[in-house]
Structure formats: C-alpha cells, structure tokens
Amino acid sequence: DGGITQSPKYLFRKEGQNVTLSCEQNLNHDAMYWYRQDPGQGLRLIYYSQIVNDFQKGDIAEGYSVSREKKESFPLTVTSAQKNPTAFYLCATRTGGGNQPQHFGDGTRLSIL
C-alpha cells in the first residue's frame, strides 16, 4: 500500500540489542496496528493504537514496546526481552468504522545475527 511506509525492509539484531521498526502513514488514518507473522502462519497482533498518545497490548506484546506521539507514526521497538524475534513484521492502518478494512505496509523482515 503506497500510503504506508515500513522501514527498513530487512533488519538484523544482535544479542541483547533493541531495534526499532518504523511505520509511517499519509492516509490520515486514526488506527494503527503491528502484527507478527511467523513462517507458514497467520498474523498475530502485537500492539494497536486507536488515537495519538494511546495504545493497547495485543495478543503477543511481551518483549515489544510502541509509541504514538504523532498520528502519522507508530514505531515498534523489539527489545532484548523478546527471545525469539525472528519474524516478518507488518504494520497496518484503518479509518472509520463498520466494514472498513485494514491497509498494510510492505513489512520488515527481522533476523538474528
């Protein structure tokens, strides 16, 4: 989706290191989400934010942290407490109610060095 930019495309983490994945959107959407995808599996929700300065834990928040200081940005930090961080990470946004779908970025592939 051209309106959601995730960077970097590939990221490598050393033991004990925190890394931050970027997600920026120009769609003016209120809600933003972070998902984790492991090989051959579906998406699992890490964190989500409905408005600026507010966010909630998803199903697998342990070892991750987020911030939502601006409407356009929702960075995800993978901390050293996340012992198995190797996965594909997807950011999504959504606006409105009802049947509005989530729109996804192109993802970041995180690997351990």
Partner 1 sequence: AQTVTQSQPEMSVQEAETVTLSCTYDTSESDYYLFWYKQPPSRQMILVIRQEAYKQQNATENRFSVNFQKAAKSFSLKISDSQLGDAAMYFCACRMDSSYKLIFGSGTRLLVRP
Check residue 41 for interaction with partner 1 (CB under 8 A). Answer: yes
Contact string (CB under 8 A) for partner 1, positions 48-87, x = contact:
x-x-------x-----------------------------
With CB under 8 A as the contact rule, the residue among 10, 16, 42, 54 that binds partner 1 is 42
C-alpha to C-alpha distance for 55 and 17, rounded to whole angstroms: 24
Work out how close the CB of 83 gets to partner 1 at its nearest, in angstroms, rounded to a whole number.
23
Percentages helix, strand, coil for the chain, rounded to the nearest 5?
0, 50, 50
Which residue blocks in 1-113 are alpha helix, DSSP H? none
CB atoms within 10 A of CB 96: 9
Given CA atoms 112, 56, 37, 70 in this order, what sign does their dihedral have? negative
Please give the size of the binding site for partner 1, defined by CB under 8 A.
Answer: 24
Residues engaged in binding partner 1 (CB under 8 A): 1, 31, 33, 40-45, 48, 50, 58, 88, 90, 92, 94, 98-99, 101-104, 106-107
